[in-house]
Amino acid sequence: MPEAPLSRIVIVGGGSAGWMTAAALARLVAAGLAITLVESDEIGTIGVGEATIPPLVDFNAALGIDENAFVAATQGTFKLGIEFRDWGHPGNRYVHPFGNYGRQTQGINFHQIWLRQRLLGVAETDPGPFDLYAISIAAAARGRFTKPAGDPEGVLQGLAYAYHFDAGLYAEFLRMRAEAQGVRRVEGKVVRVEQSSDTGFLSAVVLEGGRRIEGDLFIDCSGFRALLIGETLGVPYRSWRHWLPCDRAVAVPSAAVAPPVPYTRSTADKAGWRWRIPLQHRVGNGHVYSSAHLEDEAAARALLDRLDGAPLAEPRTLRFTAGRREKLWEKNCIAIGLSAGFIEPLESTSIHLIQSGIVRLMASFPDRNFAAVEIAEYNRWLIDEYENVRDFIVLHYHASTRSDSDFWNDCRAMDIPDSLAARLDLWRGKGRVFRGFNALFTEESWTAVLLGQGVMPADSDPLVAMLPVDETTRFLTHMRNIIAQTAEAMPRHEEYIARHCAAAGTTS
């Protein structure tokens, strides 16, 4: 068919999903594309996802966003990883860092060298905790932060970072940028969606008062309601509740009583887990739990009783079902954000999955012919990513040895996805872990959680046996020392913020 370029894109819904999409598409306005975002101030946004992962650094940079201005505008802080407390068992603690552990030697993955030393069981050559070998963990433990710079072979090159921020302020920040580039915002509630009688494609949305907004491509950012992809086009939602039983979250902000730490904290509880996310002006707190194991009132009380500072609002309860749409792109409609799927924020992936949908849309940008092969490839790619993230989250629950509640006993005993079972089998033999095609989480991420929760392989890579023990012992000692020294020399996190990106009206 001859090329038939799009002329009108309609985004239904604002929040992080809508305005990230609008900001990414805004540069197309100059090429003649009309982009309209419809949202209503009367419809609230979820706003749970205030913690992110490193790919967002690249997303913002691609939009030309000044990082310091963004962090200041969103009351943001920096994030070097996630601290997990009580996940493997009560009293267990580990960190999933951003960036690398140690460095490869003769092409052998670093964790294999550490494993060989640990499995020898000799005190003189014991490598100590795995956490000692990541610069991101060393810096986080000391409350320090800086960006990777300098010697490309230096220890700091193993550091990666992301952000904590106020999701509502991020949406406002992106809205200003998008509107300045020509994206049109329309205030109103969608009350009807019109479709072509011939093809079933969406043709217009109708607002209260009768205003019609026509489009060629529609992007559903309407949240859990999934107004376009679900209610109108009828794409089913595939539940993952049998693997991810948590279906509630209660959230509350609290006063900051200490300088913000450069990491998110996740603490396992009797029927789920609690998050703590430090911002410049407050702390975000939440409790994710299974309603089959804990009542809403008890969940809110458990959260409020453990706040560091005074609550700044009433707790807000959210209901959800983990899962995804069977298709994320159907006809001329693409679901991005909560309308596409939801995986609890244990590894801060909500905003990343929005980003993935946007990036893949730009890579598969359609014309009005909407080629079926391109739509199928988009769906395959995004579904793979959702399922890879799902497996990584399920791992945290399944790998726990907690037996202090029915919730944890159920998680440990549950059947897991075949894809995760295969990964675990591979790991338990010789500590093998492979990232795989289109996988978000790296080998280091899988290793951090597996070792952090006590899943030790029976053996290590046979190639490590080629390295003399005294040589690897010296190498590991050097890595520990240089990582500790480098972290000690970094500025404190709050000092870095005060110097570069303090929000108006705050002091660090």
Helices (H), 44-100: 55-62, 67-73
Confirm whether residue 338 is marked as ligand binding: yes
Query: Are the C-beta atoms of residues 216 and 300 closer than 8 Å to each other?
Result: no
Cβ neighbours of residue 447 closer than 8 Å, sequence gap 6 or more: 101, 111, 130, 431, 433
Confirm whether residue 50 is marked as ligand binding: no
Mean pLDDT of the chain: 95
Alpha-carbon distance values, 383 to 45, 82, 155, 353 (Å): 24, 25, 36, 11
pLDDT at 287 over 90: yes
Confirm whether residue 188 is marked as ligand binding: no
pLDDT at 169 over 50: yes
> Measured in whole angstroms, how far is the alpha carbon of residue 340 from the centre of its chain?
15
Distance from the first to the final alpha carbon of the chain: 59
pLDDT at 46 over 60: no
Full-model pTM: 0.96
Query: What gap in Å lies between CA 39 and CA 168, rounded to an integer?
Result: 14
Query: What gap in Å lies between CA 159 and CA 278, rounded to an integer?
Result: 20
Query: What gap in Å lies between CA 134 and CA 114, rounded to an integer?
Result: 12
Confirm whether residue 190 is marked as ligand binding: yes
**pLDDT for the residue 508:** 45
Query: What gap in Å lies between CA 81 and CA 59, rounded to an integer?
Result: 18
Mean pLDDT of 58-72: 98
Query: What gap in Å lies between CA 204 and CA 217, rounded to an integer?
Result: 10
Mean pLDDT of 493-503: 98
Confirm whether residue 17 is marked as ligand binding: yes
Of 79, 147, 270, 430, the catalytic one is 79
Question: pLDDT tens digits, residue range 204-218?
Answer: 999 999 999 999 999
**pLDDT for the residue 243:** 98
Does 79 participate in catalysis according to the annotation?
A: yes
Query: What gap in Å lies between CA 424 and CA 449, rounded to an integer?
Result: 12
Mean pLDDT of 407-427: 97
**pLDDT for the residue 13:** 98
pLDDT at 339 over 90: yes
**pLDDT for the residue 405:** 97
Higher per-residue pLDDT: 36 or 439: 36
What domains does the chain contain, in order, with CATH numbers?
A: 8-77+165-240+322-374 (3.50.50.60), 100-145+153-158+417-493 (no CATH), 248-319 (no CATH)
**pLDDT for the residue 505:** 78
What is the CA angle 61-63-65, rounded to 5? Answer: 60
Buried b (16+ CB within 10 A) or exposed e, 307-316: beeeeeeebb
Percentage of the residues of the chain whose pLDDT score is greater than 70: 97
Mean pLDDT of 305-324: 97
**pLDDT for the residue 507:** 54
Q: What is the DSSP letter of 78?
A: E
Confirm whether residue 14 is marked as ligand binding: yes
pLDDT band, residue 2 (cuts 50/70/90) = low
